Amino acid sequence: MSRVVGIQFRPSGKVYNFRTGSFVLEKCQNVIVKTEQGVSLGEVVTEPVRYDEWAEKHPDRSDLKKIFRLANEEDLEQQQKLREREDRAKKYCQQRIEARDMPMKLIDVECFFDGSKVVFYFTAEGRVDFRELVKDLVHRFKTRVEMRQIGVRNEAKMLGGVGSCGRELCCCAFLGDFEPVSVKMAKEQNLSLNPTKISGLCGRLMCCLTYEYETYCWLKKDMPKVGKRITLPDGETVKVIRQNALERKMTILYQDGEEKVIGPEDLKTGAPGRPDKKQARVKQREESAKPPRGRRPAGKKKK
């Protein structure tokens, strides 16, 4: 039965799914596939999965292309020559950018496997007129040239690096696509809103803010927000001043300045350590109705 594998064409690049057809593939094998960009050499980066199982999870993506053939020694040699050509193209392009004093930063160069096109990735503050630069590159390499402007997140993905956690950047280690990240995710996880602490090397919000966001939302679903005033079952109004979502606890502040740590279930049964006001008043009336010690109730005489 046909299986599905993930193919990656460049290190830290996006992973594309292909059907294995009659080939029995394993992880780290090199294969040749046909794409919209032509023939390409890629590496198997995921374990094979049965096609019917994969199709159940991705019903809208059933039209997968098949592996064309396995890569041989000649293909690997061709790929090595392309890498050397990319290095030469990057050096020459950088020289022309500096010579023309262009406001752009060259990030990476990619040569198609069949040599039909060379793509130059760059970043810039705004639009750049690179028509003269393209003429220089076409004259030098005798092939089609494409200049592709990318954002700072893609720049970090291509260049790589180490994050504040001490590990390799997620974007170049395993992330295939960038997901939207907002400051709300940092607030929901009670993180400091200091930009230097929640921003990555790219200067944007860190991708890892999305990893536990849904879990925090689920844990805090029935917990009042910090700063909100709530009424306890005994009728007393308190203010929520702190939250600990992982322990499902929150700190409340009473009007007399006392603080208590409670859980969401205590909002229905009453805060622990604080007697119910109604019960306290009833007990106080009962105590006041009892006669003092050593004295007989009024109206009774000694026989």
Sequence ranges of the domains in the chain: 3-71, 77-150, 156-215, 229-272
- 118 neighbors 110 (Cβ within 8 angstroms): yes
Give SS3 for 260.
Answer: strand
Instruction: Give the torsion through C-alpha atoms of 91, 93, 97, 102, to 10 deg.
Output: -130
Instruction: Give the torsion through C-alpha atoms of 86, 87, 93, 98, to 10 deg.
Output: 160
Of 120, 73, 113, nearest to 93 by C-alpha is: 120
Of 115, 108, 44, 45, nearest to 79 by C-alpha is: 115
Task: Give pLDDT, residue 198.
Answer: 92
**Structure token pair of residue 218:** 């689920």
Task: Give pLDDT, residue 118.
Answer: 93
Of 160, 143, 141, nearest to 88 by C-alpha is: 141
What is the CB neighbour count within 10 angstroms for residue 83? 11
Q: What is the mean pLDDT of residues 23-50?
A: 87
What is the CB neighbour count within 10 angstroms for residue 67? 22
Of 221, 219, 222, 188, nearest to 205 by C-alpha is: 188
Q: Is the pLDDT of residue 292 over 70?
A: no
Euclidean distance between CA atoms 259 and 119, whole angstroms: 62
Euclidean distance between CA atoms 72 and 178, whole angstroms: 34
Task: Give pLDDT, residue 282.
Answer: 55
Q: What is the mean pLDDT of residues 165-188?
A: 88
Kindly report the average pLDDT of the chain as a whole number. Answer: 85
Q: What is the mean pLDDT of residues 141-146?
A: 92
Task: Select from 3.30.300, 3.30.420, 1.10.3470, 1.10.287 the CATH code of 77-150.
Answer: 3.30.300
Q: What is the pLDDT of residues 230-241, one digit of tens each?
A: 888 877 888 888
Q: What is the mean pLDDT of residues 162-173?
A: 88
Give SS3 for 185.
Answer: helix
Task: Give pLDDT, residue 95.
Answer: 95
**Structure token pair of residue 167:** 């590990």
Q: What is the mean pLDDT of residues 205-215?
A: 92
Task: Give pLDDT, residue 114.
Answer: 84
Task: Give pLDDT, residue 220.
Answer: 87
- 137 neighbors 93 (Cβ within 8 angstroms): yes
- 198 neighbors 185 (Cβ within 8 angstroms): no
**Structure token pair of residue 57:** 């999870």
Task: Give pLDDT, residue 232.
Answer: 82
Read off the amino acid at residue 39.
Answer: V
Task: Give pLDDT, residue 290.
Answer: 60
**Structure token pair of residue 145:** 């040239």
Q: What is the mean pLDDT of residues 3-18?
A: 85
Least confident range of 46-50, 174-178, 223-227, 274-278: 274-278
- 75 neighbors 30 (Cβ within 8 angstroms): yes
Highest mean pLDDT of the ranges 59-73, 90-104, 169-183: 90-104
Euclidean distance between CA atoms 75 and 171, whole angstroms: 28
Q: Is the pLDDT of residue 296 over 60?
A: no
Q: Is the pLDDT of residue 281 over 90?
A: no
Q: Is the pLDDT of residue 271 over 70?
A: no
190 backbone dihedrals φ, ψ, rounded to 5° = 55, 40
Q: Is the pLDDT of residue 273 over 70?
A: no
pTM given for the model: 0.73
At how many degrees (to 10) do helices 73-100 and 131-141 cross? 140
Give SS3 for 98.
Answer: helix
Highest mean pLDDT of the ranges 26-30, 97-101, 293-297: 97-101
Q: Is the pLDDT of residue 131 over 70?
A: yes
